[in-house]
Chain A
């Protein structure tokens, strides 16, 4: 007997509105349907109405947690289009902020994961050590989130040499705490029992669903844009890709924690080798052409595409966020586990729905492939199909 457990769109589990339909047999989840679109604000539509320099502020507001990643990928795309080479100091600054953001994002996830399994101590504890990092952001860039460090042809703000010791001091503290968290999670029998062997995403499935970021690396698939196609200062520092083995939630948690260690390593090296000089180059318009940029966001690869016609605005701006692929893999990861585990498994990919929500219009022979009416027809047909399925 199949039953449906609806979760959402407003529910205490996750912060954003999204809708899951868990199809269950008894306690066991046999299928999952994901319905998103509650966060669609039309960024790709607004972007061509703004000038090149205004767009970073817009794409920053795609997502508040990885608010450095989207502008980062965007400026890389524009620099690719206009063949701009930012000065070395700007590259190092961007790398540092990108890595500090990874730490803050992974800690955020770890805290929420603790909350999801009813371990609020973990949540309070982890977020306590995330707080000084936000202070650092405020110190360097003037805002706790949405810091707007990326600018076409450089960085918007400099990291002052007198701030280096403050960053170093935080990293020293964090290194100890990160070791403590890693040990706490690996040693705690309750956390282990909740996370181990739950929500397994096999390597084949990870490849088939094209997942990225810690979700892929937790399944043993070593994919990382920072290593595969290094940009900015990532090829000038020494670090390793962290790869898990089992693909369960524990592996993903451990990958994220160990990645924080790697981030600390990268930031330290960047601070040590930081070159002097200007932080931005002069940009005289964007020539016609197209460019791509990708950045390893905390959740995986974020990809931006821009096309220019030589004017002061982009003609087309396409965004692909990592959660777009990662969320789809929930369908295989959640199957066969109980409803109680589903909470955690659905959150294990660190989903970010506001990143994900894009729409597209498919054209065929110069005509829209699906008009509004066609989509309605498709929707009705699907309802019919599902009705048949649940009648069984």
Chain B
């Protein structure tokens, strides 16, 4: 059953965009890949409004104490198997925010992450490449 879903996922992944405590920049670049220059909707990649409809989570930003329970809840709501794609340096590692009292670490400490896309913010090409690599692994 899992394999069947993964096969379907390859064709037209629906993504839910989850910003923990991001600076908005990766989020804007994610929106950017939907606009005419990159237009990923050609490949069937659509941003959906609810994690329950999503095949993949695009996660951005560091996780702080207030967003951690919400992030876990959104992850639980996403139908499995799902892809988790960490967009941006903050999602891969807290880096500059590591010494903060409110930051509870990167995503992979709390939920399984499939693909890491570093960059502050990653260029839209890099985000598309990350998604393609994630799909190729299936």
Contacts and interface: CB of A to CB of B under 8 A. Distances in A.
Interface stretch (B6-14, B97-105, B106-114, B128-136): B97-105
A124 interface: yes
B19 A65 contact: no
Interface in A20-56: 37-42, 45-46, 49
A266 B97 CA distance: 36
| Chain A interface residue number, banded | 35 or more
Interface in B43-67: 47-51, 61-62, 64, 66-67
Q: For the complex, would chain A's binding face be called helix, strand, loop or mixed by DSSP majority?
A: loop
A146 B120 contact: yes
B96 interface: yes
Nearest to A359: B102
Interface in A107-147: 108, 111, 123-124, 127-128, 131, 143-146
B35 A123 contact: yes
B66 A131 contact: no
B36 A146 contact: no
Interface string B15-33: 0011111111111110110
B36 A124 contact: yes
B96 to A, nearest CB: 6
A40 B74 contact: no
A88 interface: no
A67 interface: yes
Contacts of A41: 21, 62, 64, 97, 100, 102-103
A287 interface: no
A15 B24 contact: yes
A111 B31 CA distance: 11
Contact of A9 (B47, B51, B70): B70
A62 interface: yes
Contacts of A63: 23-24
Given A38-B21, A41-B21, A64-B23, A17 B96 contact: no
Point out which of B19, B31, B120 has the most chain A C-beta atoms below 10 A from its C-beta: B19
Nearest to A40: B102
Contacts of A42: 97, 100-103
Given A46-B99, A128-B35, A354 B21 contact: yes
B23 A61 contact: yes
Contacts of B50: 12
A352 interface: yes
Contacts of A145: 25, 28-29, 121
Nearest to A353: B24
Given A46-B97, A46-B99, A146-B121, A40 B35 contact: no
A276 B22 CA distance: 39
Interface string A1-24: 000000001111001110000000
B37 interface: yes
Contacts of B48: 12
A146 B35 CA distance: 20
Contact of B22 (A40, A49, A354): A354
A10 B70 CA distance: 8
B23 A9 contact: no
Nearest to A104: B28
A38 B64 contact: yes
A144 B88 CA distance: 14
A56 B25 CA distance: 16
A38 B70 CA distance: 10
Given A41-B103, A65-B25, 7 more contacts: A12-B47, A17-B19, A57-B96, A64-B23, A64-B27, A146-B120, A354-B21
5 contacts: A38-B66, A45-B101, A46-B97, A127-B36, A145-B28
Interface of B: 17-29, 31-32, 35-37, 47-51, 61-62, 64, 66-67, 70, 74, 96-97, 99-103, 120-121, 123
9 closest A-B pairs by CB: A64-B25, A12-B49, A42-B100, A15-B27, A64-B24, A127-B35, A64-B23, A128-B36, A39-B21
